[in-house]
Amino acid sequence: MKKKIYLKKTRIIIFLLITFIFSTGINTVDSFDYNVSNFNANNSNLDVEDSYINYIVKENDTIWSIVNENIDIKRDKREYVSNIIELNNIKGNIYPGDVLLIPSY
């Protein structure tokens, strides 16, 4: 009689463990899918609102000279320079051959 009770307890524990693992896996996949779709939605908005130009830095180029070539007179150049620095994660100097993303508004 004890053997049957032991087998039933083991089966119940295994069943509960499998159910727990399965439900946790579904929640994990579901939250991952939400994050990916949310990320794609955010990126699609960026693509529609902002477009970028790949600019190859030439000899004697500075960020300010690049801005003067690529910006409308109506825009604030300081803000544009700040956007380029932030977008390209520039910590110091730029060198010929560097490729910069330049926002085109």
Number of domains in the chain: 2
Range(s) of the domain holding residue 79: 50-104
CATH number of the domain bearing residue 59? 3.10.350
Per-residue pLDDT averaged across 79-84, rounded?
A: 89
> Do 43 and 63 belong to one domain?
no
Secondary structure of 11-70 in HEC code, one letter for each residue? HHHHHHHHHHHHHHHHHHHHHHHHHHHHHHHHHHHHHHHCEEEEEECCCCCCHHHHHHHH
pTM: 0.50
> Do 99 and 63 belong to one domain?
yes
Q: What is the mean pLDDT of the chain?
A: 76
pLDDT tens-digit readout, 14-58: 888 888 777 776 655 555 544 444 454 444 444 445 688 899 999
